[in-house]
Structure 1
Amino acid sequence: MFRPSQPVLDVVGTVVRLGLAAVWLTSGSIKLADPGQTYLAVKAYQLLPDAVVHPVATALPLLELALGVLLLFGLLTRVAAVVSAVVLVLFIAGVAQSWARGLTIDCGCFGGGGQVAAGQTQYPQEIARDVGFMVLAGWLIVRSRTRLAVDGWLRSEQQVSDLPV
């Protein structure tokens, strides 16, 4: 049975980590650049009371950017992956409930969002994409060790400080 070596798994993990970082950094940057559109996207889901829509629309891109930065640098990788998975589950649930309720909205995942014409929704593709992103997060939850990561440098420093003098 073929079993990949640790260095190969570390490289795969690095690609996964940087890929998920790119997703969060791109999504968060686009949303932060157009807060009005982000507000409309959050409101279009019709899930939150009006008083909560603005704080969520403001916090969401900041959370995405924070996750992206943590993953980019490989800092708290497993924690960032767990939070990523939770956020992605919420996104999938939001899209699924919109689909089930017959709403015709764009998810607003990478900008845009809000009402669209009938037949312009892409709910199955949006859910499949987010499931794919969850697979990436799952990899990092199970195996957070990657190359070029602050986590690894901190582990190395911890091991050095544990050596007897």
Structure 2
Amino acid sequence: MAIPWVTTVARLILGVVLIAAGLPKFRDPIQSVTAVKAYQLLPESIATTVGHLLPIAEIILGILLVVGLLTRISAVLGGLLMLAFVFGIAWAWANGLKIDCGCFGGGGQLAAGQEPTYLLDIVRDFGLVVCAVWIALFAPGRLALDTKLGLGKSEREND
């Protein structure tokens, strides 16, 4: 059956996106903090901490998903992270903020004349939530370390 392969593709999509989102923020933590603060959702000190820890969490979750280790837990955490992003972007939109989401680095106030891409960002992140739910339901998929280490269903059981 195709379900294990769909799970693997969903794992790779969510994992690669998380890594791609985390790396630029990890390389520029000051910009990551700026992006988190731009949402005006968290107190300054908490926003600073989140700005520093977020890229690390994204990269770790992304790697775990790509290799299929602790797959179900990683999918749930990744899905919750994506839901938090959807909420944050919707919050910014509803409150009339004109910011770059900071999803793949950058972030903060947009320059004059620039318009935010909130709807596109929300649709993308919600699509990633769907991937996370699928993975959580049908983990670990094919080519997963969970299977090799006896932490998940065998590929034969997953058929």
User: Do these two structures clear the TM 0.5 threshold for a shared fold by scoring above it?
Assistant: yes
CA distance in 2, matches of 1:82, 1:157: 15
CA distance in 2, matches of 1:158, 1:97: 39
- Letter of the 1:65 partner, please give it: I
Residue deviations 1:56-96 (CA, integer Å, cap 9, x gap): 11100000011011111101101001001111111111011
Residue 156 of structure 1 and its aligned partner are, at CA, apart by 7.8
CA distance in 2, matches of 1:104, 1:122: 9
**1:25-36 equivalence runs, <5 A:** 25-36=19-30
Check conservation: 1:75, 1:149, Cα contact below 8 A.
yes
Q: 1:91 to 1:115 in 2, by over 3 A?
A: same
Check conservation: 2:78, 2:132, Cα contact below 8 A.
yes
Q: 1:27 to 1:157 in 2, by over 3 A?
A: closer
Structure 1 stretch displaced more, 125-134 or 9-18: 9-18
Which residue of structure 1 lines up, in the alignment, with residue 46 of structure 2? Answer: 52
Residue deviations 1:105-144 (CA, integer Å, cap 9, x gap): 0100011110013551111111000011111101101101
Which residue of structure 2 lines up, in the alignment, with residue 61 of structure 1? Answer: 55
Larger radius of gyration: 1
Stretches of structure 2 lacking an aligned partner (at least 5 in a row)? 155-159
Q: 1:39 to 1:157 in 2, by over 3 A?
A: closer
The number of residues matched between the two structures is 153
Q: Does 1:129 align with 2:124?
A: yes
Residue identity (%): 44
Which residue of structure 1 lines up, in the alignment, with residue 85 of structure 2? Answer: 91
TM-score normalized by structure 1? 0.87
Stretches of structure 1 lacking an aligned partner (at least 5 in a row)? 160-165
CA distance in 1, matches of 2:151, 2:118: 44
Check conservation: 1:10, 1:145, Cα contact below 8 A.
yes
Residue 15 of structure 1 and its aligned partner are, at CA, apart by 1.2
Q: 1:13 to 1:46 in 2, by over 3 A?
A: same
CA distance in 2, matches of 1:39, 1:96: 19
TM-score normalized by structure 2? 0.90
